[in-house]
């Protein structure tokens, strides 16, 4: 596996491997890698000739300075995990490399209302930062296929919309959520959970499953209210639990009238914010 810190070196290498019907797969991450990230790498490696992974803790998507500061950074361990995972090149840029002071990296896309609901309501400005970094990384890597996790369902929907509006020549591939054996969705933030909250957190997956089981019996608002109550009773502080249209992310009134519905939630486990979702 190659390791590039400068975009010019990554691009020089990409020039040598591109072409001849060879596909490039790209997996952008913020590091502190776990098996969820590696499932994206493995899928990309199986479907492309070359796989590029980036690790960049993007400052523009953090609306809380202390969250950015506390975000886990484990580059040595990440490199060890990537070697042997099928990744051909790791891009590990500095902030200056991604956002050179003499370059305008802003992106103009109208995401409304995708970026103002759910995560967007609780993390103002977050998705503008996500769009900015993914666009910039796509410009640098120019992959054929972009791999993103269902774990961040709203993020994926927004990137799909960005690709559509800007007519970017890349195919977006959604990779299912990888979970711990007890159901907790793998996340870089999980290592920061206290033992007590780590024991409670799997309730999120159980609640999502029970919601899925009850879609024929209860209304959307009953299911949402029930799930919020269950999360709170378990000792978490839920921010939202919403059943939305899987494409537009708009609230839905009736499950029977919707082709694709997804239940999305966020809750605090102590001072760690967890998100999860389930396609219904
Ligand atoms: P992050 O490093 O949190 O920005 O995540 C990088 C990519 O990995 C995103 O596309 C995430 O959706 C994806 N990802 C994170 N956790 C998981 C998981 N448990 N299962 C599948 N994909 C994941």
| Residue 210 alpha carbon to ligand 1 centre in Å | 24
Q: What does DSSP assign to residue 19?
A: B
Instruction: Report how far Cα 125 is from the mean position of its chain's Cα atoms.
Output: 16
Count the neighbouring beta carbons within 10 Å of the beta carbon of residue 217.
8
| Residue 266 alpha carbon to ligand 1 centre in Å | 15
- CA 134 to CA 188: how far, in whole Å? 19
Instruction: Choose which residue among 28, 32, 37 to substitute to test ligand 1 binding: the one with the highest number of ligand atoms within 8 A of its C-beta.
Output: 37
Residue 254, pLDDT above cutoff 90: no
Residue 28, pLDDT above cutoff 90: yes
Strand pairing class (89-91; 2-4): parallel
Angle at 67 between CA 38 and CA 3, to 5 degrees: 40
Residue 238, pLDDT above cutoff 90: yes
Q: What's the pLDDT tens digit per position in 104-153? A: 999 999 999 999 999 999 999 999 999 999 999 999 999 999 999 999 99
What mean pLDDT do residues 183-208 have?
Answer: 97
Q: What does DSSP assign to residue 146?
A: E
In DSSP notation, 193-205 reads S-HHHHHHTTHHH
- CA 153 to CA 221: how far, in whole Å? 21
pLDDT at 77: 96
pLDDT at 19: 84
| Residue 54 alpha carbon to ligand 1 centre in Å | 12
Could you tell me the domains of the chain? 2-175 (3.40.50.620), 188-279 (3.30.1300.10)
pLDDT at 98: 97
The 3-state DSSP class for residue 64 equals coil
- CA 11 to CA 207: how far, in whole Å? 45
The closest residue, in CA terms, to atom 18 on ligand 1 is 36
Residue 158, pLDDT above cutoff 90: yes
Does residue 177 line the site of ligand 1, with CB under 6 A? yes
């Amino acid at each position: 596996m190659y390791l590039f810190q400068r975009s010019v070196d990554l691009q020089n290498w990409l020039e040598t491997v591109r072409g001849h019907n060879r596909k490039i797969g790209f997996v952008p991450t913020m590091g502190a890698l776990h098996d969820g990230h590696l499932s994206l790498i493995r899928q990309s490696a199986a479907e492309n000739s070359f796989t590029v992974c980036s690790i960049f803790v993007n400052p523009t998507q953090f609306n809380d300075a202390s969250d950015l500061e506390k975000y886990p950074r484990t580059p040595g361990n990440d490199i060890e995990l990537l070697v042997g995972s099928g990744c051909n090149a790791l891009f590990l840029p500095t902030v200056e490399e991604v956002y050179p002071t003499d370059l305008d990296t802003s992106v103009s896309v109208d995401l409304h209302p995708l970026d103002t609901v759910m995560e967007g309501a609780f993390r103002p400005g977050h998705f503008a930062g996500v769009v900015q970094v993914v666009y910039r990384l796509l410009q640098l890597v120019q992959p054929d296929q972009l791999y993103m996790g269902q774990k961040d369902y709203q993020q994926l929907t927004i990137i799909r919309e960005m690709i559509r509006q800007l007519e970017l020549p890349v195919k977006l591939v959604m990779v299912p959520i990888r979970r711990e054996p007890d159901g907790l969705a793998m996340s870089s933030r999980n290592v920061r959970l206290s033992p007590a909250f780590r024991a409670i957190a799997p309730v999120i997956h159980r609640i999502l499953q029970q919601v899925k089981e009850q879609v024929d019996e209860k209304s959307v608002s009953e299911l949402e209210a029930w799930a919020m109550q269950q999360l709170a009773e378990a000792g978490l502080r839920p921010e939202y639990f919403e059943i939305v249209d899987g494409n537009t992310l708009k609230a839905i009134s009736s499950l029977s009238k919707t082709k694709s519905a997804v239940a999305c939630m966020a809750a605090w486990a102590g001072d760690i914010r967890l998100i999860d979702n389930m396609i219904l």
